[in-house]
Structure 1
Amino acid sequence: MPADDVRRRTLALAIAGALVVLAVALALFRPAPAAGPPLPTPSGASDAPTATQPIRSASASADAAPGTAPPAETDTPEAGGTPVEPPATIPPAGPSEVPDEPVAPPAPPAPPLPEFPETLRGQDLTVVPGAGPNVALTFDAGANAAGLAGILSTLAAKGVAGTFFLTGNWAASNPQGVAQIAAAGHRVANHSMTHPGFTGLAGDAILNEVRSAEQAILAAGADPRPLFRFPYGERDARTIAAVNALGYVAVRWTVDTLGWKGTSGGASVQSVADRVQAGLQPGEIVLMHIGSNPDDGTTLDADALPQVIDRIRAAGYGFVTLDALLAR
């Protein structure tokens, strides 16, 4: 081989070797490329969460069977929702934390039930047995109280005590009237709650009428026991037995003044006094009324009362309340 060819071949090999060395050096000392966005992957191929994929709890992922849909997301911290605060619990107050509350005194016991003689059972009395020359003035209250002030004034002025049969409705509507009657020393009695005819009432209705009136009158400050008057005077053996069983003796009347009819019904002050005089007898029970006539507004019983008392006394009679029945 000529010397010139050898030299060219040797130079080419030297250059090629230098290039190889340079390439190796560049590969060894090449800096790492800057981090770029992640390469896209096929849909569903990655388990890593993305910005729109909430992180499920480990237990929820473990409970899901392969190939089944994951459980519905719940609003829990693990599901990426708003944390739900557990309901606040208030610890029970200790003895020192309970405020002292006033303890109401026990209600006083009801007054003992007055007893009546067995000889009065089964009766609706029309006179006071054994009363001698004495008259019992009785006043029914079931409507208004128009005549009450006049009646109480007359009884006080004449020094006479009477017996007042009150309905429960009247007592509830006129508690001051009940208090005035009791404060003046008069006897209070039961005239039912709503003033119905009793013979058409069942046993439980009779019980309710009597007991409700009793409670209303007691609440107003008087005790009606054990005297009862049937509304309209309507009674029979069954209803008398029913009120007896409730602790009451039934009391009717000897004479009704008919003052409740008013002048529009043909009554007058004179006719009231005359009827009382005509029925005068030992133990007479006189029926009068507190309320006014609904048509003409008259209070004939209240107006006639002074004359009634004077004429009874002029005939030699005195006055008793129906408590005289209980003294036998």
Structure 2
Amino acid sequence: MFTRRRVLLAGTAAVGAAGTAGLLAWGAGEKPAGPVAPAAGAPARRLPLKPSAYRLQPLTGYGPPRTLPRRPPVRREPLLKMTGRGRTMVLTFDDGPDPRYTPGILDTLAEYDVRAMFFVCGEMAVDNKDLLARMADEGHIVGNHTWSHPLLTTLTRRQIRSQMTRTSEVIEDGYGEPPHWFRAPYGAWNRAAFQLGAELGMEPLGWTVDTLDWTTPGTRTIVDRVENGAGPGVVVLSHDAGGDRSQSVRALRRYLPRLLDTGYHVTVPRRQAG
């Protein structure tokens, strides 16, 4: 059986994340889910910005596309929510990969045969390409989280492009394909970030449930935040780097089997093929 990485290396079509436009849904005939409460941003390495509210836009379904993605539109807001059948959720992890914590998260995901999204920083990924390769082999999606986790709203357009481009190059080298998703550090987006992300073939992804695990509130608190925020279409934000993430690793081991036992389908989004 071919792994995602082996298929990519064999020169077949890219899998995992492919292009989207307009309103996206999990299944044909599904109606977009209604808005939920705005999500609050939470950095891993710096003090948080004030919460940012965005109107929620749905993501599309899961699974490998048949063709490469079309170039995404330039959005004004990040995608924060999915629509579709049943109780479907997405788990995302930011700021890694970190060899101290990322392997534990990957081990738990593998144990339960669950796929997740990892928004990596280039300065972390460049020395941990083996973890990017493992993510590819195990079917996870790797997104771009800039090179050094800066506040994009304080950078010039050239600096933002450099942060994105350098990271995309590292991801393509270690993961086997360029990223198709982008997340702004601290949830701080601006027009340049949306424009440049689209030029590089990436859709902007936010979140709907923030675990605030970067504050190290305790394993039990992280578990409670995920379980209390669980719902159809939810995108959960956690971290696998940027500090001591042992609580995040332990929390995943607790809440993931509970989500699955209560009927949630934890998966990754794909973008509609062009």
Residue equivalent to 1:59: none
Residue equivalent to 1:318: 265
For structure 1, the residue ranges without an aligned partner over 5 or more in a row are 1-107
Q: Residues 77-116 of structure 1, C-alpha deviation per residue, up to 9 Å, x if partnerless?
A: xxxxxxxxxxxxxxxxxxxxxxxxxxxxxxx99x889422
Check whether the contact 2:97–2:128 (CA below 8 A) recurs between aligned residues.
no
Q: Residues 171-201 of structure 1, C-alpha deviation per residue, up to 9 Å, x if partnerless?
A: 1011111111111221111111121111122
Q: For 1:322, give the aligned amino acid.
A: P
How far does residue 143 in structure 1 lie from its aligned partner after superposition? 7.0
Residue equivalent to 1:278: 228
Q: For 1:276, give the aligned amino acid.
A: V
- Pick from 102, 120, 124 the counterpart of residue 170 of structure 1: 124
Residue equivalent to 2:202: 248
SS of 1:286's partner is strand
Q: For 2:261, give the aligned amino acid.
A: A
**Could you say if the C-alpha distance between residues 201 and 127 of structure 1 is closer, same or farther in structure 2, counting changes exceeding 3 Å?**
same
Residue equivalent to 2:90: 136
- Pick from 186, 208, 214 the counterpart of residue 232 of structure 1: 186
Q: Within 2, Cα distance between the matches of 1:222 and 1:258? A: 31
1:184 aligns with 2:104: no
Q: Within 2, Cα distance between the matches of 1:308 and 1:259? A: 14
SS of 2:176's partner is coil
Q: Residues 109-137 of structure 1, C-alpha deviation per residue, up to 9 Å, x if partnerless?
A: 9x889422244741301112336410101
Decide which structure has greater helix share. Answer: 1
Check whether the contact 2:98–2:124 (CA below 8 A) recurs between aligned residues.
yes
Q: For 1:183, give the aligned amino acid.
A: D
- Pick from 106, 109, 112 the counterpart of residue 155 of structure 1: 109
Check whether the contact 2:157–2:192 (CA below 8 A) recurs between aligned residues.
no
Q: For 2:248, give the aligned amino acid.
A: D
How far does residue 242 in structure 1 lie from its aligned partner after superposition? 3.0
Q: After alignment, is 249-258 or 116-125 more displaced?
A: 116-125
Q: Within 2, Cα distance between the matches of 1:304 and 1:169? A: 26
Q: For 1:283, give the aligned amino acid.
A: G
**Could you say if the C-alpha distance between residues 131 and 212 of structure 1 is closer, same or farther in structure 2, counting changes exceeding 3 Å?**
farther
Q: Which has the larger radius of gyration?
A: 1
How far does residue 153 in structure 1 lie from its aligned partner after superposition? 1.0
TM-score by length of 1: 0.59
Check whether the contact 1:188–1:222 (CA below 8 A) recurs between aligned residues.
no
- Pick from 201, 207, 224 the counterpart of residue 161 of structure 2: 207
How far does residue 225 in structure 1 lie from its aligned partner after superposition? 2.4
Q: For 2:228, give the aligned amino acid.
A: A
Q: Within 1, Cα distance between the matches of 2:147 and 2:153? A: 15
Q: Residues 280-310 of structure 1, C-alpha deviation per residue, up to 9 Å, x if partnerless?
A: 12111111111263xxx45111111121112
Higher relative contact order (CA 8 A, sep 6+): 2
SS of 2:82's partner is coil
Identity %: 30
Q: For 1:117, give the aligned amino acid.
A: A
